[in-house]
């Protein structure tokens, strides 16, 4: 930390703070020792929160409801008011910071919840893991696919438990869908579809402008992260601070905010395969006429193509909420969510074979078969499969902190979701198809499988 930042930043400390933490003397080794001591079977997990805006505060409240398992011991935000509010919510027991690096140095912080703007996710997640902390990072895992690759590598190197906050990755319906597909229940997958749809006449993400005072109660430079190469340096812009999802420097728009969720559960059904080609289209059908300064599109489509010649199509709209259902289309049957569970509808050409599969495959054991009579024939209309299990996304992370097993949306899986999402932003902004070599784990100039 440079001297001018140290002297200009006001750090909130509620309760006593050790000199070691203040000077950053708590090394990675010490942090790991503290974690080992404080996460024993009969103790609570000490949580620190980095970023407590809208989403961060929502997560803060959700974790507060798990006070039998965790204790919130530290809070950090670049805007002092948010830090003070959340510290107050702990009865003053948590310590407050403006700089997340000081939070990472605090003894007793076993794990952190990161809910800062997207452009900060990779650095803060990596710094936290290297400081010996387990991490819950809000989606998207990162802003760029290369960052996600590094996060996954650091997670493996450090052995830290990372859960990405794409809650659909814990959806029991889609874990069940994956079992059905893997078990041969719909035949080869031909194509998948999914989407996210909203309609706000005032413009989605046009949140209220916050009454911050940069240089007084807000560290604008730290929010930008320009000293770390995270975003360009610029004068304070209340619009960008309060509505960051509208700007490419800090967000991938619909792709990283909403469609990351969609692909997280679609990917469950196809085993988190990686595409070799990604294209994207879209625009601003309405908002380009409203002068609301946004850079990202309000209509966005992604097509991800796989080496086995199957395709995933996703669409997001913020100006029409009548969308398309999440669906996996196989050669023999089509798979869609149906309340608690999945519904399998046979293709007409495979109604007979699907009846046999429904009665013989392990993935359909215990399923309900909906049929009708056609003369002497019994015709299969659909198969209803109840979810075999369901995960509490936050609870799954806490469980894995104890067990040291991998959570449902761990770093490797979150990276595999990040690849097509991040490549779609590149494709949209360049107007070109983006090719990905899965063996080299790298973007390449042409189809690597032609």
**Residue 311 sits in the same domain as residue 353:** yes
Asked if 107 and 21 touch (Cβ cutoff 8 Å), the reply is: yes
Residue 288 is predicted with a pLDDT of: 65
Q: Give the pLDDT confidence score for residue 292 in this predicted structure.
A: 82
11/103 same-domain check: yes
185 and 104 in a common domain: no
CATH of the domain at 196: 3.30.360.10
Q: What is the pLDDT of residue 12?
A: 32
pLDDT recorded at residue 28: 31
pLDDT in tens for each of the 450 residues of the chain? 443 333 333 333 333 222 233 223 332 332 333 344 344 455 999 999 999 999 999 999 999 999 999 999 999 999 999 999 999 999 999 999 999 999 999 999 999 999 999 999 999 999 999 999 999 999 999 999 999 999 999 999 999 999 999 998 899 999 999 999 999 999 999 999 999 999 998 889 999 999 999 999 999 999 999 999 999 999 999 999 999 999 999 999 999 999 999 999 999 888 888 999 999 999 999 866 667 889 999 999 999 999 989 999 999 999 999 999 999 999 999 999 988 899 999 999 999 999 999 999 999 999 999 999 989 889 999 999 999 877 899 999 999 999 999 999 999 999 999 999 999 999 999 999 999 999 999 999 988 877
What's the CATH number where 88 sits?
3.40.50.720
Residue 28, in any domain of the structure = yes
Query: What pLDDT is attached to residue 273?
Result: 87
Residue 293 counted as domain residue = yes
Tell whether 379 is covered by a domain.
yes
Give tens-digit pLDDT for 415-426. Answer: 999 999 999 999
| Residue 88 is assigned to a structural domain of this protein | yes
Q: What is the pLDDT of residue 202?
A: 86
Domain containing 159 equals 3-167+393-411
Into how many domains does the chain fold? 2
Task: Output the CA torsion sign for 129, 133, 138, 139.
Answer: positive
Two tokens, residue 181: 């597909």
**Element housing 377 (H / E):** strand 377-385
What is the 3-class SS of 130-199, one letter each residue? HCCCEEEECCCCCCCHHHHHHHHHHHHHHCCCEEECCHHHHCHHHHHHHHHHHCCCCCCEEEEEEEEECE
Closest CA to 421 of 246, 169, 253: 253
Taking Cα atoms as reference points, which of 364, 349, 410 lies closest to residue 181?
Answer: 364
> Given its phi and psi angles, is residue 396 left (phi above 0), alpha (psi -120 to 50 degrees) or beta?
alpha
Closest CA to 106 of 200, 3, 11, 217: 11
**Is the same domain home to 16 and 91?**
yes
- Considering the domain architecture, whether residues 47 and 178 belong to the same structural domain is answered as no
Q: Do 180 and 117 share a domain, yes or no?
A: no
Stated pTM of the model:
0.89
343 and 402 housed in the same domain: no
Measuring CA to CA, which residue among 202, 194, 428 is closest to residue 296? 428
Q: Does residue 216 belong to any structural domain of this protein? A: no
In a domain? residue 240: no
Whether residue 400 sits in one domain with residue 278: no
Please tell me whether residues 135 and 263 are part of one structural domain. Answer: no
What DSSP character marks residue 226?
G
Give a yes or no: residue 210 inside a domain: no
| Domain co-membership, 175 together with 82 | no
Question: Do 104 and 190 have their domain in common?
Answer: no
Residue with token string 């009579």 = 373
Q: Give domain status of residue 220, yes or no.
A: no
Asked whether residue 380 falls in the same domain as residue 303, the answer is: yes
């Amino acid at each position: 930390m440079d001297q001018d930042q140290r002297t200009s930043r006001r750090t909130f400390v509620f309760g006593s703070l050790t000199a070691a933490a203040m000077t950053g003397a708590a090394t990675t080794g010490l942090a790991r020792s503290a974690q080992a001591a404080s996460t024993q079977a009969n103790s609570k997990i000490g949580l620190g929160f980095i970023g407590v805006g809208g989403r961060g505060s929502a997560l803060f409240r959700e974790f507060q409801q798990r006070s039998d398992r965790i204790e919130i011991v530290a809070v950090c935000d670049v805007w002092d008011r948010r830090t003070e509010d959340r510290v107050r919510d702990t009865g003053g027991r948590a310590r407050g910071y403006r700089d997340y690096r000081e939070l990472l140095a605090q003894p007793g912080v076993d794990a952190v919840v990161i809910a800062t703007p997207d452009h900060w996710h990779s650095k803060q997640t990596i710094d936290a893991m290297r400081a010996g902390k387990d991490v819950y990072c809000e989606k998207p895992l990162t802003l760029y696919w290369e960052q996600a690759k590094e996060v996954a590598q650091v997670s493996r190197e450090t052995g830290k438990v990372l859960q990405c906050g794409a809650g659909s990755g814990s959806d029991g319906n889609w874990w069940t869908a994956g079992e059905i597909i893997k078990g041969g229940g719909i035949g080869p997958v031909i194509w998948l579809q999914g989407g996210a749809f909203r309609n706000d006449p005032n413009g989605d993400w046009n949140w209220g402008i916050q009454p911050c005072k940069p240089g007084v109660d807000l560290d604008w430079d730290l929010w930008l992260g320009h000293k770390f190469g995270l975003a360009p340096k610029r004068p304070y812009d209340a619009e960008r601070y309060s509505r960051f999802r509208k700007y490419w420097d800090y967000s991938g728009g619909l792709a990283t905010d909403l469609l990351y969720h969609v692909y997280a559960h679609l990917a469950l059904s196809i085993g988190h395969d990686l595409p070799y080609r990604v294209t994207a289209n879209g625009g601003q059908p309405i908002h380009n006429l409203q002068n609301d300064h946004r850079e990202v599109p309000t209509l966005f489509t992604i097509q991800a193509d796989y080496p086995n010649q199957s395709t995933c199509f996703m669409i997001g709209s913020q100006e029409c909420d009548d969308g398309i259902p999440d669906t996996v289309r196989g050669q023999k049957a089509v798979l869609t969510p149906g309340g608690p569970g999945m519904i399998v509808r046979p293709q007409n050409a495979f109604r007979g074979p699907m009846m046999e599969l429904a009665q013989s495959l392990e993935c359909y054991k215990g399923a309900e078969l909906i049929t009708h009579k056609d003369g002497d024939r019994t015709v299969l209309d659909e198969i209803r499969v109840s979810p075999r299990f369901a995960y509490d996304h936050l609870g799954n992370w806490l469980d894995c902190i104890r067990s040291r097993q991998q959570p449902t949306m761990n770093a490797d899986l979150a990276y595999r979701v990040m690849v097509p999402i991040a490549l779609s932003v590149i494709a949209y902004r360049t107007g070109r198809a983006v090719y990905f070599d899965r063996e080299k784990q790298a973007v390449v100039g042409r189809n690597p499988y032609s």
